[in-house]
Structure 1
Amino acid sequence: MSVQTKKAGNLQGLALILPVVLSVMGSVLLAPIVPALMEQFKHIPNANYWVLSLLSVPALCIAIFATPAGYIADKFGRRRILIWAMIFYAFCGMAPLILNDFVAIYISRIGVGLCEAIIMVASTTLIGDYFEHDQRDKWLGSQAATASFSAMCLFPIAGALGSFGWRGPFVLYSLSLILVLGVIFFTWEVKKPQTVKTSANEKQRHPFPWAHMVKVCVITLIGAMMFYILQFNLGSALKANFEVNSSLMTGIMLSIASLGVPIGAVFYRYAHKKFSISALIMVEFGILAVGFICMSNAPNYQLFLAAGFINQFGAGMVLPTMLTWAMRDLQMDNRGRGTGMWQATFAFGQFASTMSFAYVVSQTGNVMASFGVFGIVALVMCLGTAVTFIYNRPNVSLTQK
């Protein structure tokens, strides 16, 4: 438990969940201008690969550097590095407004990713420092919902700015300079609790819960893969099976299906009070399985979209469940490291999602059948968790410390 001289409330919660918008901006802002970027940098060798990687390189940076960022947060404090990361994020993000060289722009995107890793770890760790039990779960669930809602809002805004040229959406990175004011004025650094000295006059620290974190991260990796599959492949499925060729219609349908994520995250805030960890995971993977299997057998795009919404509802519950589960066994002196480890796992799941789905499609030869394969995987996870739930009752709920 952390030692606080101040009581955190709604202002602190809002100040710390809003930076999640910055992590969403990493890829969302560039998605609508991919054709313009391709045209601008078509002279570059292997442009198809390098231009598209501008979208994904920030997530790769989170996967690699989130864990070291957690160590830094534990050693030097969360608030200080959060403020500086948000400031540097703005300048790295806006750099393409004046840069013309592709290599320089790519380096600026790496800078965005490094700052995102620190922002996500530091802000999430501070939520863990400030709040406990139900309040902590409330704000972590709100963080997931905020990320999903912001993505839905940023897609059309980035598209509108992109109509002025490929540099247009990069203006939005200046939002970080506004959000950092909330952190500066409404948060504080939490003091570390007094350590107990041993007979050898050495400081006794809480051991890092490796067994707990490995278990959480393994299931988080699978959940993260499930989380991104529909978002990355809905357009291909609509075009190949339902002859939906309009990018506008695809974007609208993706927004409708993705609406399930924030709704699922909000529903989690109520469900976690009544169900154990195992029960929640069982239900969530069950919902994912139903969505995937129904998607693979949908006779028209309307039912496909409805099944996609169900799938994303389950995905919206998975994210806060995994994060609050990870937080449960972390203490003040290792919370940053554990949060970084979790963030890195979830970010890596984004890459694993694209690679695993591409492999399954190469084996099945069909996008719709591939959804069914992942539906079976989700069903296996659901049944496996059900067995664990039955044989380990009574289980510890997420609301217990």
Structure 2
Amino acid sequence: MSDSQSASALPAATTMTKVVLLGAASLTIMSGAAISTALPSIEAAFPGNQLLTRLLLTLPALFILFCAPVAGIVADRWGRKPLLLGGLCLFVLAGTSGMYLGDFSLLLAGRALLGVAVAGVITSANTLVADYFTGAERQRFMGFQGATMSLGGVCFLVGGGLLAQWSWRANFAIYLLALPLIPLAWRHLAETRGIAGGGPDHADTTPMPLWKVVRVFAFAAYTMGVFYLIPTQMPFFLKELAGASPAMTGICIAASTLAAGVSSSQFGRFGKGMSHARRLAFASGMMGLGMAGLWWAAGIPSVLVSMAVFGSGMGWLMPANTFRLAELSPPRLRGRLMGILSSSLFLGQFVSPLFSQPLIARWGYGAAYGAAGLTLLASCAALMVLDRMGRRV
């Protein structure tokens, strides 16, 4: 079954359907980073737990890593809509657990459950988008989806930073933003499994280009690992550089997510007709320039500029990877493959501090950002060479 045939069998995506899908997207990538501005305060409240405090930020990624492929199987076998609804409910419950849990081990448990919730939300939302839309409309909507992720990041980071000024526990209240989506998703989403070719008994036998799919996963993990140097290390970098408050830290990180939102919103317009390699080269090049700028940053203004440049590249990365995977994935395997993409993204998030912390301890924050920038610029150059050679990635 072709994408166009499967999409035509679905009810048209109404305005409220699009609102729910975009709202779900806004909760995902930056949801774990929402408490980043409160990390120094949490570390002070639980002394002697420096590494474990950072795991509060990255532990959700570990559970997404293992749970997202399972979520993909659930989406293909039992439906996208039930998975999304269950994920949203757990997101609210687990996300707000830091408001009232007093033991550090319980805080870690709450963050683990948040990872399970995000795995369900991001996998079901991406699969629903790929089911509902095809062709240029899909590319355009995925650009807006990326922009909404960035807008969600701004809300989570700035809102979290403002709440952290009051109390580190108040920071966890930001997860209540997901609550209104539960009744909206129940009312306005149609189940697409089977209709879009996702049922286990569907006759669709479209082949899957395995190595192209694997390359999407690998590049997503690599770039997300580099990206996560921002929320995990920026609060400490800015405190060392300029004695920045949690609110100022939130503003600096939000500068990248705001720029990413603007960039993502133009993905459907300027990315149309470009090869996947060129899209990734643009994303890598801008991210690399932004990271290199942090290496030489002398104060908050230069950090803000670097973050804006970095974000303009990051804004293309998510829609480029998701759009490419939607192109490559047969409908019967779409939930599974979107789940593995989610897993790849959060694998990068989880390993990021494990690689960066030793570098920072030896050479400092600036050098770690500079090294990350150089690897991204090298990736940009390699992708441009491959594109010139006519190699598809």
State the alpha-carbon separation in 1 of the partners of residues 340 and 280 from structure 2.
20
Task: Name the structure 2 match of 1:30.
Answer: 35
Contact 1:227–1:312 (8 Å) recurs in 2: no
TM-score (norm 2): 0.86
Q: How far does the alpha carbon of each residue in 1:215-235 deviate from its partner, in whole angstroms, 9 at most, with x for none?
A: 111211222123223443344
Would you say 1:118 and 2:116 are equivalent positions?
no
Answer yes or no: is the 8 Å Cα contact 2:148–2:261 preserved in 1.
yes
Aligned to 1:377: 375
Q: Equivalent residue for 1:67?
A: 69
TM-score, reference length from structure 1: 0.85
Distance in structure 2 (CA, Å) of the matches to 1:226 and 1:109:
22
Match status 1:386 vs 2:391: no
**Aligned counterparts, 1:231-380, within 5 A:** 231-240=231-240, 242-298=241-297, 301-361=300-360, 365-380=363-378
Deviations 1:285-323 (A, max 9, x none): 222233333433455553343233212211221121112
Q: How many residues align?
A: 385
CA gap of 1:391–1:313, structure 2 versus 1, over 3 A, is same
Q: CA deviation at 1:112?
A: 1.7
Give the AA of the match of 2:147: A
1:198 is matched with: none
Q: Which runs of 5 or more residues in structure 1 are unaligned?
A: 196-200, 397-401
- CA–CA separation in structure 2 for the residues paired with 1:367 and 1:85: 35
CA contact (8 A) 2:242 2:300 kept: no
- Indicate the structure (1 or 2) with the bigger Cα radius of gyration: 1
User: In the aligned structure 1, how far is the partner of 2:153 from the partner of 2:335?
Assistant: 26
**Identity of paired residues, percent?**
23
Question: What is the rounded CA distance, in whole Å, between the counterparts of 1:320 and 1:160 in structure 2?
Answer: 29
Q: Residue 381 of structure 1 aligns to which amino acid in structure 2?
A: S
Change (3 A) 1:171 1:324: same
Instruction: Give structure 2 stretches of 5+ with no counterpart.
Output: none
Over residues 147-198 of structure 1, what are the superposed CA-to-partner deviations in whole Å (9 max), with x where a residue is unaligned?
2222222334334445664443444433333111221111111252598xxx
- Which is further off, 208-217 or 154-163? 154-163
Stretch deviating more after TM superposition (120-129 or 259-268): 259-268
Match of 1:7 in 2: 12
**In 2, Cα distance between equivalents of 1:93 and 1:130:** 29
Residue from 132, 135, 138 that aligns with 1:133:
135
Alignment of 1:33-112 (within 5 A): 33-38=38-43, 40-42=45-47, 46-112=48-114
**Residue 62 of structure 1: CA displacement?**
0.9
**Counterpart residue number, 2:222:** 222
CA distance in 1, matches of 2:372, 2:117: 33
Correspondence for 2:144? 142
Q: What is the RMSD of the two structures over their aligned residues, measured on CA atoms?
A: 2.9
Match of 2:26 among 17, 21, 29: 21
Give the letter aligned to residue 389 of structure 1: D
